[in-house]
Amino acid sequence: MSPKAICLLSGGLDSATTLYAAKAKGYEVRALTIHYGQLHERELECAKKLAQGVAIEHQVMALSLPWKGSALLDASIPVPTGRSDQEMAHGIPVTYVPARNTIFLAVAASYAEASGSAILLIGANILDYSGYPDCRPEYFKSLEETLRLGTKAGAEGRRLSIEAPLLKLSKKEIIEWGMRLGVPYDKTWSCYQGQKAPCGACDACQLRAKGFREAGHEDPLLNYEKSSH
């Protein structure tokens, strides 16, 4: 019997690759998209297309955090653009959303309990986003223990485990792996801005472009955008 898993699917490059990696591992995957009041809906559309593409159950949950405090939630804080690799690697970025991964993984745990799943998949990555405290391995370990203690599944001896298969991969390695797995990267969205085409300047666009460049592939999203104009 295939292990059942819940995959957090934002519609970005990393979560799409995580989904395909889990499918390749033989997991029976359900996807969960939490629409938490990002400034744009492009990722949400991508998440829906990705889940449809692999024909899996997909739950989309609206969770509007009414407080601000992150450039991803608050239009008055500019998203960072044009920073050097070194600047990106230090400190907690303004795109940090308070307690986001804990909220996401708690909701995924709820879905896991309701569907009898044992694995929570998250596309977290520690190289590109070293500043996010909720991407660190010791944080995931601690949350697993919290879920063991605080869920019915845990109380009954069915532990929920958190898997972050991309955690220590570079963007280049993620893209190389994803290309082998057949991830349709034209159906993923990374840009922090919500325009028709990626801005090319924000941290997320820069990391994505660098990854494709180093992996020796063209980004199919850019080709797609070009050909649709």
Applying CB under 8 A, the residues found at the interface with a copy of itself are 59-69, 92, 96-103, 106-107, 109-115, 133-134, 136, 138-139, 142-143, 145-147, 149-152, 154-155
* Cβ 87 to a copy of itself shortest distance, Å: 18
Cβ-based nearer residue to a copy of itself, 126 or 222: 126
Are 217 and 178 in contact, with CB atoms under 8 Å apart?
Answer: no
For residue 160 the two structure tokens come to 């929920």
* Cβ 131 to a copy of itself shortest distance, Å: 9
Amino acid identity at 62? A
For residue 154 the two structure tokens come to 């845990």
Nearest to 191 by CA among 210, 172, 205: 205
Cβ-based nearer residue to a copy of itself, 41 or 218: 41
* Cβ 161 to a copy of itself shortest distance, Å: 14
Q: In whole angstroms, what is the distance from residue 101 CA to residue 144 CA?
A: 13
Burial status of residue 186 (CB atoms within 10 A of its CB: 0-12, 13-18, 19 or more): middle
* Cβ 18 to a copy of itself shortest distance, Å: 19
Burial status of residue 54 (CB atoms within 10 A of its CB: 0-12, 13-18, 19 or more): middle
Cβ-based nearer residue to a copy of itself, 136 or 210: 136
* Cβ 180 to a copy of itself shortest distance, Å: 31
Cβ-based nearer residue to a copy of itself, 79 or 147: 147
Amino acid identity at 140? F
Cβ-based nearer residue to a copy of itself, 151 or 188: 151
Q: In whole angstroms, what is the distance from residue 151 CA to residue 157 CA?
A: 10
Cβ-based nearer residue to a copy of itself, 145 or 218: 145
CA-CA distances (angstroms) from residue 223 to 92, 94, 186? Answer: 33, 30, 8
Backbone phi, then psi, for 5, in 5-degree steps? -140, 150
* Cβ 223 to a copy of itself shortest distance, Å: 35
